[in-house]
């Protein structure tokens, strides 16, 4: 399951850093909801 938080917190932090740096998207739930309501 891709949503299972396996591994240390540092692995999670590194994944978010890579996603935001190289793919340019990390959004909060509120941002996502606002984007859908337009």
**Residue 3 is assigned to a structural domain of this protein:** no
pLDDT tens digits, 8-28: 989 888 888 888 787 767 778
Label residue 3 by pLDDT band (50, 70, 90). low
**Residue 24 is assigned to a structural domain of this protein:** yes
Please name the residues in contact with 25: beta carbons below 8 A apart, sequence gap of 6 or more.
19
Q: Please give the tally of structural domains in the chain.
A: 1
Q: How far apart are CA 31 and CA 28, in angstroms?
A: 5
**Residue 1 is assigned to a structural domain of this protein:** no
Inform me whether the pLDDT recorded for 1 exceeds 60: no
**Residue 32 is assigned to a structural domain of this protein:** yes
Q: How far apart are CA 25 and CA 31, in angstroms?
A: 11
Which structural domain, as residue segments, surrounds residue 35? 9-38
Please tell me the pTM assigned to this model.
Answer: 0.48
**Residue 38 is assigned to a structural domain of this protein:** yes
């Amino acid at each position: 399951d891709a949503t299972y938080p396996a591994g240390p917190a540092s692995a999670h932090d590194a994944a978010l850093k890579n996603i935001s740096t190289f793919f340019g998207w990390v959004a909060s739930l509120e941002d996502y909801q606002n984007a859908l309501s337009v």
